[in-house]
Amino acid sequence: MSHLESLRGAFETTLQLPTLAVEWLLMLYETIQLLDDCADGDKIQRSDLDSVIWASLVAMPSNVFYLANQKELASAVANMILKWQASDKVERAGKHDEVSFVWRAGYYDVVLTVVRLCHGVAIAHQCAADVMRLYGEKYSEYVKEFENA
pLDDT tens-digit map of 58-70 = 999 999 999 999 9
Q: What confidence tens digit (pLDDT) does each residue in 13-56 have?
A: 999 999 999 999 999 999 999 999 998 899 999 999 999 999 99
* CA distances from residue 55 to 4, 41, 44, 104, 118 in whole angstroms, order as listed: 15, 21, 16, 22, 22
Cβ–Cβ under 8 Å, residues 31 and 38: no
Tell me the pTM. 0.93
What pLDDT does residue 145 have? 77
The alpha carbons of the chain give a radius of gyration, in whole angstroms, of 16
